């Protein structure tokens, strides 16, 4: 390999103009002096790593992969992708037992839901927290409770009823809905049925892979991603859009699959979207109508997840919430909550995680909302644990406020 070939990167680090605006927007830089920052860890570091892997800095593990650096970059440099790709390529330290446990969401979810009445109190006990702390899961972190039944089981049960609708969508429910909060999936079914859409399962579904990517379990992440893409293509071939209720699942399938796993998805990418995006677009196109109850009153704050900001879709979720006549909408400052999926569960990151989210937590406590809305499940866990506020997905709040009979009538279903 000649010198020129050695200095060619698959990423666009050469387009960095060294303005350092990414550094100003990085939430980690303000709390962790050991992190070199997105400019040094990303495009600047890439120049050196291409010359020798010895230039790899293990402090890159402190990157949240929040993508705020990419959102702020005027040159559209894929800074977050450069950093994560470097971690995947150059970090030779094998993932810990703790990392495997946090990343294997399907394995842990299937086990935990089967024994939820036992697992939930055990996970919240001091003995379990002390044991998890020993293997590197911080004892202060609160785990989400597991449901006693899986949403996928429910969806298969109602599939004959859903197939009777003339129009359908395929639902990528993800791990959180499947194992922790089946009610969110049921809320989506309620809304979509009221506007004339049946909700069908994908033929096969695995975890989106974000936790495996973050913990460098790339071969397993790729295996799951290939299964997901095959099922998504089957749905798209049947003219079904693929909807999700998780901003991070959606972002991972749309952007991380090609950027970090090298999997081509351009043929189906535009068909994968958040449920709030789908509903908003259909309303704006005049294809569906939502009618809300007159007696629904709430003060709602909305937190924009980092990956939602990268997608540029927050306006769809907030727009739907603002349609509800009885709510007082309170926007929150655009701040990272600090959890970043499994990042905030790790003992070495917990303090940084809480410091990153401190300004957001204070803003929520000052606003005194009845409920905080957000499209990311791990943001929900972080905000609930750190503020005591109730947090729900916008879909759940829309389902609560929906006048189902009036909506069905408005859509010609009654």
DSSP letter string, 118-171:
HHHHHHTSHHHHHHHHHTTB-TTPPPPPPPSS-HHHHHHHTHHHHHTSSEEEEE
Q: Is the pLDDT of residue 10 over 80?
A: no
Q: Is the pLDDT of residue 1 over 80?
A: no
CA angle 142, 393, 117 (to 5 degrees): 45
Give CA–CA dist 357/9, Å, rounded: 34
Q: Is 91 helix (H, G, I), strand (E, B) or coil?
A: coil
Give CA–CA dist 282/314, Å, rounded: 16
Q: What is the pLDDT of residue 6?
A: 55
Q: What is the pLDDT of residue 12?
A: 83
Mean pLDDT of the chain: 95
Q: What is the pLDDT of residue 308?
A: 96
pLDDT digits (tens, 9 = 90+) for 281-339: 999 999 999 999 999 999 999 999 999 999 999 999 999 999 999 999 999 999 999 99
Token pair of 363 as six digits: 């803003």
Contact between residue 398 and residue 324 where contact means Cβ atoms under 8 Å apart: yes
Q: Is the pLDDT of residue 352 over 80?
A: yes
Nearest to 93 by CA among 213, 209, 210, 215: 215
Read off the pLDDT band of 11 (50, 70, 90). Answer: confident
Contact between residue 178 and residue 150 where contact means Cβ atoms under 8 Å apart: yes
Q: Is the pLDDT of residue 7 over 80?
A: no
Residues above pLDDT 90, as percent of the chain: 95
Beta strands 242-244 and 391-392 are unpaired
Q: What is the pLDDT of residue 8?
A: 59
pLDDT digits (tens, 9 = 90+) for 103-123: 999 999 999 999 999 999 999
Token pair of 55 as six digits: 């230039």
Q: What is the pLDDT of residue 13?
A: 87
Give CA–CA dist 138/159, Å, rounded: 41
Q: Is the pLDDT of residue 3 over 60?
A: no
What integer is the mean pLDDT of 366-383? Answer: 97
Q: Is the pLDDT of residue 38 over 70?
A: yes
List the beta strands (DSSP E) in 49-136.
none
pLDDT digits (tens, 9 = 90+) for 148-177: 999 999 999 999 999 999 999 999 999 999
What integer is the mean pLDDT of 32-48? Answer: 94
Contact between residue 324 and residue 390 where contact means Cβ atoms under 8 Å apart: no
Q: Is the pLDDT of residue 271 over 70?
A: yes
Give CA–CA dist 72/367, Å, rounded: 27
Read off the pLDDT band of 14 (50, 70, 90). Answer: confident
| Contacts of residue 398, Cβ cutoff 8 Å, sequence gap at least 6 | 187, 191, 279, 290, 320, 321, 324
Q: What is the pLDDT of residue 181?
A: 98
């Amino acid at each position: 390999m000649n010198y020129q070939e050695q200095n060619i990167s698959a990423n666009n680090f050469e387009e960095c103009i060294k303005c350092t605006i990414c550094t100003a927007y990085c939430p980690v830089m303000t709390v962790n002096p050991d992190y070199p920052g997105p400019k040094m860890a990303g495009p600047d570091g890439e120049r050196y790593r291409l010359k020798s892997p010895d230039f790899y800095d293990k402090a890159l593990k402190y990157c949240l992969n929040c993508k705020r650096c990419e959102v702020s970059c005027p040159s559209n440099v894929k800074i977050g992708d450069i950093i994560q790709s470097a971690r995947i390529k150059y970090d030779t330290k094998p993932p810990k037992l703790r990392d495997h446990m946090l990343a294997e969401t399907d394995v842990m979810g299937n086990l935990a839901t089967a024994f939820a009445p036992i697992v939930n109190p055990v996970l919240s006990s001091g003995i379990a927290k002390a044991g998890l702390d020993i293997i590197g899961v911080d004892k202060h972190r609160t785990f989400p409770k597991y449901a006693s039944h899986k949403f996928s089981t429910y969806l298969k049960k109602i599939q004959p009823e859903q197939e009777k609708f003339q129009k359908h969508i395929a639902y990528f429910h993800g791990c959180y809905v499947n194992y922790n909060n089946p009610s969110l999936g049921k809320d989506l079914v309620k809304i979509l049925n009221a506007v004339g859409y049946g909700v069908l399962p994908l033929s096969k579904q695995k975890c989106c892979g974000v936790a495996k990517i973050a913990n460098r379990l790339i071969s397993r992440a790729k295996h799951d991603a290939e299964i997901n893409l095959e099922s998504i293509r089957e749905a798209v071939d049947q003219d079904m859009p693929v909807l999700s209720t998780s901003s991070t699942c959606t972002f991972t399938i749309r952007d991380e699959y090609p950027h970090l796993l090298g999997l081509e998805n351009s043929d189906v990418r535009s068909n994968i979207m958040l449920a709030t995006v789908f509903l908003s677009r259909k309303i704006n196109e005049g294809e569906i109508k939502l009618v809300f109850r007159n007696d629904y009153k709430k003060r709602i704050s909305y937190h924009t997840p980092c990956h939602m900001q990268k997608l540029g879709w927050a306006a769809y979720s907030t727009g739907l919430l603002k349609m509800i006549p009885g709510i007082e909408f309170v926007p929150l400052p655009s701040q990272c909550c600090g959890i970043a999926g499994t990042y905030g569960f790790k003992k070495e990151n917990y303090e940084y995680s809480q410091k990153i989210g401190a300004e957001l937590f204070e803003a929520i406590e000052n606003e005194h909302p009845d409920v905080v809305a957000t499209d990311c499940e791990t943001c929900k866990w972080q905000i609930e644990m750190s503020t005591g506020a109730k947090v729900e997905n916008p879909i759940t709040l829309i389902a609560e406020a929906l006048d189902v009979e009036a909506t069905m009538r408005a859509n010609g279903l009654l």
